[in-house]
Amino acid sequence: MQFQTTLFLASANPHKIEELEQILKSLGINLKTTRDFPEREDVEEDQLTLEGNALKKARFWNQETGLPSLADDTGLEVDALNGAPGVWSARYAGEGVTYRQNVEKLLKEMEGEANREAQFRTVIAFVDGELEKLFEGICKGEIIHEPRGSKGFGYDPIFAPKGFDKTFAELSPKEKNLISHRGLALQEFIKFLK
């Protein structure tokens, strides 16, 4: 099925844009992103839930651009840390930190911890005027002890999805998209579009 339509994706993260573009382009969906509106200031992700942040961003960009807008928020939820870093995943080691600093902090918090179970959870919000919808994708796996792999971003080098002996950072973007939290949430959105 081909849609021949344009959606706005509220993101300037090149990794994320590439992941989502790969899936949406094949359906004839053209994407505009935050990078196409450099003069507009992005929304602050200051809500206490992934759902709240995703909706806030999608509503803002729908108003700004007039385009049906998608926004996502993702968190890594670690069982032994009661769901942390969760909605704070980007700022786990502090404001303005690198992915590596977040990974190091998480490994430190997990030192000596036997229960390594974790999940990535993505919430995608779609807003088109009055129409507002939320879609969720979950990928379960575990936190390994040492970073492995150089692909992907964020916590990818220390997250091994269930059933794989590779981390997300050792999978190709295509392999990751098929099983990832973001890929699964997007599949839910595409089902809704169809």
**Contact footprint for ligand IMP (CB under 6 A):** 16, 73-74, 89-90, 99, 102, 152-156, 168, 180, 182
To ligand IMP, the closest distance from the beta carbon of 180 in angstroms equals: 6
CB proximity list for 3: less than 8 A, separation 6 or greater: 27, 28, 29, 193
Nearer to ligand IMP, 62 or 74 (CB): 74
CA distances from 79 to 76, 93, 98, 143 (A): 10, 18, 23, 10
To ligand IMP, the closest distance from the beta carbon of 73 in angstroms equals: 4
Name the burial class of residue 69, with classes exposed (0-12), middle (13-18) and buried (19+) by CB atoms within 10 angstroms of its CB: buried
Cα–Cα distance for residue pair 45/34, rounded to 1 Å: 14
Residues, the chain: 194
Contact by Cβ (8 Å): 75, 90: no
To ligand IMP, the closest distance from the beta carbon of 4 in angstroms equals: 28
Name the burial class of residue 149, with classes exposed (0-12), middle (13-18) and buried (19+) by CB atoms within 10 angstroms of its CB: middle
To ligand IMP, the closest distance from the beta carbon of 174 in angstroms equals: 14
* Closest CB to ligand IMP: residue number: 154
Nearer to ligand IMP, 15 or 32 (CB): 15
Catalytic residue numbers read 73
Nearer to ligand IMP, 28 or 174 (CB): 174
